[in-house]
Amino acid sequence: MAFKALQITQAAGGLATNLVTLEDSDLMEGDVIVAVEYSTVNYKDALALSGKAPIVQAFPLIGGIDLAGSVVASSNPGFKVGDPVVLNGWALSQTHHGGYAQRARVKGEWLVHRPEALDARQAMAIGTAGYTAMLCVLALEHNGVKPGDGDILVTGANGGVGSVAIALLHKLGHRVVASTGRMADAAHLQSLGAAEVIARGPLGEPGKPVQKERWAGAIDSVGSHTLANVLAQTRYRGTVAACGLAQGSDLPTTVLPFILRNVTLAGIDSVNAPQAIREQAWQRLASDLDPALLDTITTQVGLADVPRVVEDLFAGKVRGRVVVDVNA
């Protein structure tokens, strides 16, 4: 069966992305074939398509680390034809064809049964960014951070992880402070549930390893000096969930926040998270995230628009989530 796909190839001076027509015979190994309805554009997708980081490890490769659709063929006992499914991470867009296509053949153990409360478009409005945000919330809960303990800081608040994290934390009863480089969007962040919006400037600058205590917990997608300052400002026995590196992969801090204030730094990996935690995260997203809010943070594009979205993302012009209709 012929299908459209956005394929990444090696080219002189970097990578090239082209809209192509492929056949089922071009798909990679797997025991489940999915008719893909939607994918999305995450920061990792932007790194992969642009070549700014060595995400893609096999060429040519279909991009897209997310997909949502329904099963059309399966030899895996856990999935039958017609099952609604979602897939985040694993080897997609690294060594295995990803979600920027109308068809995908994948391993059944990579798939999650999509909760009935979410359709395919809503699942991709959440995507890896929202699923990662839920993993961060679960980490805070695991370490005992409760509503009423104090302010929860969300950095990179205008991004996909930040937007969903604010909405989730607010619904769970936390007082959320959003840090952003676009203060013009403060009203939007407040509509998602942020009680306070602060400029990211001071957080992104070099600071002392221990500072005045403020945060009961935090979700950070920025890294570098921002994460170091967040740790320095976290209260005694607070927890910081770290899931990104928008500012950098370095962490210029000391052990002082950890040994003087018993701060926990919880690393969040969305790519290879065990299936049980994935299922838990998606069930919680279905129950704890207001679907109506998804429309306020989501824009929709077609496959051919993805390269432009990647440029906009790096230019800081993308707010919230971008859903890709692979059939448009």
Distance of alpha carbon 114 from alpha carbon 28, whole angstroms: 23
Q: How many Å separate Cα 122 from the centre of its chain?
A: 14
CATH code assigned at 105? 3.90.180.10
Q: Which tokens is 239 given?
A: 């927890």
Same domain as 163, residue 245 = yes
Same domain as 199, residue 85 = no
Q: In a structure prediction context, what are the per-residue pLDDT tens digits for the chain, which is 328 residues long?
A: 899 999 999 988 889 999 999 999 999 999 999 999 999 998 899 999 999 999 999 999 999 999 999 999 999 999 999 999 999 999 999 999 999 999 999 999 999 999 999 999 999 999 999 999 999 999 999 999 999 999 999 999 998 899 999 999 999 999 999 999 999 999 999 999 999 999 999 999 999 999 999 999 999 999 999 999 999 999 999 999 999 999 999 999 999 999 999 999 999 999 899 999 999 999 999 999 988 888 888 999 999 999 999 999 998 888 888 999 999 9
Structural domain range at position 14: 2-114+297-325
The pTM of this model reads 0.90
Domain-embedded: residue 106: yes
Q: What angle do CA 155, 255, 268 make, to 5 degrees?
A: 40
Same domain as 311, residue 260 = no
The region that residue 322 occupies, defined by phi over 0 for left and psi between -120 and 50 for alpha, beta otherwise, is beta
Number of domains observed in the structure of the chain? 2
